[in-house]
A and B are shown apart, each in its own frame.
Chain A
Amino acid sequence: MILVSLLETAWHALVTHRMRSFLTMLGMVIGVAAVILMLAIGQGAQAMVRGAIESMGSNLFIIMSGATTSGGARVATGDAPSLTFDDADAIRDLPDIRASAPVSPGGAQLIYGGVNWNTSVYGTTPDYAVVRNWSMASGSFFSEADVRRGARVVVIGGVVARELFGDENPVGKVIRIKQAPFEVIGVLADKGQSLDGRDQDDTVLVPISSAQQKIFSSSLRNRARFIMVQAVSEKRMDAAETAINDLLRTRHRIGVGQDDDFTVRNLTALAETAASTTRIMSLLLGAIAAISLVVGGIGIMNIMLVSVTERTREIGIRMAIGARRRDVLWQFLIEALTLSLIGCGIGLLFGMAGAWLVGWLAGLPVAVTPVSVLMAVGVSFLIGVFFGFYPARNAAGLDPIDALRAQ
C-alpha cells in the first residue's frame, strides 16, 4: 500500500478520536519536553563549568600554608603563613614549572570620588596573570619592578571598574584602598563566575609588597597565604607535584616522618572532578526524563491495544475486501508512529520554550543542540515502532472471519 494512503488512514483514525489521541500523545509530549529540557539544562551546566575551568587557568596547583590532616581539613599553624616569597621563586625555577605567584588575599574598601566599593584584594606578582591566564581589557599589569619597589599601583577587575568608574576610563586614575592612594594601571578582561560561584571580576590585584605594607598592614613580610603555580603541561603535572613537595620539604627543613607545613592541591584535577560530577548529574537528569518518555510509549501501546480490540470488526471488513496482513500491520504501526512523532513535535516545542525560560530565569547558558533534537525524534520513532508493533501484530494476526463476527 502507498505510504500516503497509510498516513491518510492513520490521520483519519486519530482525528476520529481526537480527545483520546490527544491524551495518548500527552505522555510523549511530556516525555520529550522533559528530555529536551533536562538535556538543555545539563548542557548549560556543563558549559558553565567548562567556562569556569577555562577561566581558572590550566595545569594549576595551589600551595597553601598549613598542614592537612588525613581527613582533608586544613590545620591552622598559628597566624604565620609558612610559605615565603622565596619559596615561590624557588618553585618557579623547577624544570616543569612555568609560573609561580605568591598570593596574599584580603578584603578592603575602595573609594574613588564619592563612590566606594568593598571587594577582595589580592597582593601578588606578575606571574599571577600568567597562571590565571588573565589578559587585560586596557592598560597593563604591574611589573616585577613594581613588586620590588612596593609601588602603589593597582589592576582592577571589570566589576570594580564599572562600579567605581562607570563609563570613565579608569587607567591613570587614583583610587584609595584603605585610605592609601593607588594608581589604576590596568583593567582585567572579564572572566565571569568561578567554579565555586564567586564573581571573578569583582577583585583588584596589587603588588604583594604594597598590599602587605599599605593595605593589610601585616607584620609578616615576605610571607604568602598561598602560592599559585602553573606547570608546563598537563603531562608534567605529577612530576611537578612531586618536585614541589620535595623542594618545600627541603626548604622548610621537614624531616622524615614529620608533617608538612604546606598543602599542595591539584586544582585542575579538582576542576575535572567538578566537571565530571556535572556530567553525571546531567546524565541522571536525562535518564529520569527518558523514563517518562518510556511511560509515554507504554501509554501509546495501551491505547493501541484498546483500539485494535474496538476496531476488530473494521479489521475484518478491511481483510474481507483485500487488506493483506502486512497492510493491517502497517496501518496500526503508522498510527502508533504518527501519535509518537506528533507528540514528539509538540514536546520539542514545549521543551525548547521551557529551556529558553529556564535559561532566562536562572541565567544558565542552556543549549538545545541539534543532537538532542535528533535524539528525541529518533527515540520517539523507536518508541512508536517498539510499542506500536505488538498491538499492530495482534491486529494483523486476526482471522478475517473471526474479526468480521466480532461486535
Chain B
Amino acid sequence: MTESAPPLIEVANLGKDYPTGAGVFRALDDVSLRIAVGEFVAIMGASGSGKSTFMNLLGCLDRTTRGSYHLDGQDVGRLSSDQLAALRNREIGFVFQGFNLLPKLTSLDNVALPLMYAGMGREARRRQAQAMLDRVGLGERSHHTPLQLSGGQQQRVAIARALATRPRIIFADEPTGNLDSETSRQVMDLFNQFNRKEGITLVLVTHEADMAAYARRRIRFHDGRVIEDVVTEGVPA
C-alpha cells in the first residue's frame, strides 16, 4: 500500500445521529479515515459502539448526518437514490450477519438477483451466478433454497451474491456471527482468498479476535468514535 494510491474510501468528520424519544442520539461522531484499494480491514468494538451504523453508511444503505464520504472519488452525499442503487449494485457487495437471502428463491436465483438489477439477460446471469457458486464451493447446491442449506452454506451463497456483479468492495457486518468456529473459518478463508487473489477490498465487522486476525488492519470503535487504527499481519491465502 503506497501513499500515492488514491483511497477507495475516504470519510471525513463523519457523523450519524438517530432521533430518539429523548432528543438525538449520536451513533457516530467525527470519524475520519481512508481505506485503499485491496485492503482487508477488520472493524471491532463493543456492542452499540456504532460499527453497524458505520457499515451501513459505507455500504450506501443509509445517509450521513454530518461530514463527507467519498467512494472512488465520488461524493456519495450528492448522489440520487438511483445513483446510490447503481453504486450498491456494481461497486459494493454487502454480506449480513443474518445472510438475508430471499427464502423462496434457489441459491442460483439469489446469486443472479443483483445481475438482474444490473440489466443482464437471463441466460448470461444464470451462467455467471453458477460460476460464482462454483467459486464458493456450492456449485452442486444451486437449486437448493436457503432453508435447505446450512448456515455456513447460506453465508457462502450470500458471499457469492455479493460478488456476483464483480464489485470492488465487500462490506460484511459480522458475517460469522451466526456460525460455529469451523464454518466461520471456512467463510473467512473464502474472504481472504478473494482479497488476496482478486484484490477485492474487504471491510468486515467482527467481535472475535480469531476472525479479526485475518485482516491486515484493525479499526476499533468506542461510543461512535475511532479509538484504534492499526496495521496487523493478516493471514496468507
Q: Which residues of A contact B (CB under 8 A)?
A: 1-2, 4-5, 8, 12, 16, 313-314, 317-327, 399-401, 404
Contacts and interface: CB of A to CB of B under 8 A. Distances in A.
A321 B86 contact: no
B102 A1 contact: no
Which 8 interchain pairs have the tightest Cβ spacing? A322-B89, A322-B117, A324-B85, A321-B114, A401-B62, A401-B61, A400-B61, A324-B82
Contact of A323 (B62, B104, B105, B117): B117
B116 interface: yes
B212 to A, nearest CB: 24
Interface residues of B, number: 29
B86 A322 contact: yes
B94 A320 contact: yes
Nearest to A311: B102
A2 B123 CA distance: 13
Contacts of B102: 314, 317
B161 A321 contact: yes
Given A322-B165, A327-B85, A399-B62, 11 more contacts: A1-B116, A1-B119, A2-B116, A2-B122, A320-B88, A321-B88, A321-B161, A322-B89, A322-B118, A324-B85, A401-B62
B143 to A, nearest CB: 14
A314 B82 CA distance: 18
Interface of B: 56, 59, 61-62, 81-82, 85-86, 88-90, 94, 96, 100-102, 104-105, 113-114, 116-119, 121-122, 161-162, 165
A320 B117 contact: no
B117 A1 contact: yes
A320 to B, nearest CB: 5
A319 B60 CA distance: 11
B85 A319 contact: yes
Contacts of B94: 320-321
Nearest to B56: A401
A318 B81 CA distance: 14
B117 A324 contact: yes
Given A317-B102, A320-B100, A325-B82, A2 B119 contact: yes
A65 B62 CA distance: 92
Contacts of A401: 56, 61-62
29 contacts: A2-B116, A2-B119, A313-B100, A317-B100, A318-B113, A318-B117, A319-B61, A319-B88, A320-B59, A320-B94, A321-B88, A321-B89, A321-B113, A321-B114, A322-B85, A322-B86, A322-B117, A322-B165, A323-B117, A324-B85, A324-B86, A325-B82, A326-B82, A401-B56, A401-B61, A401-B62, A404-B61, A404-B96, A404-B100
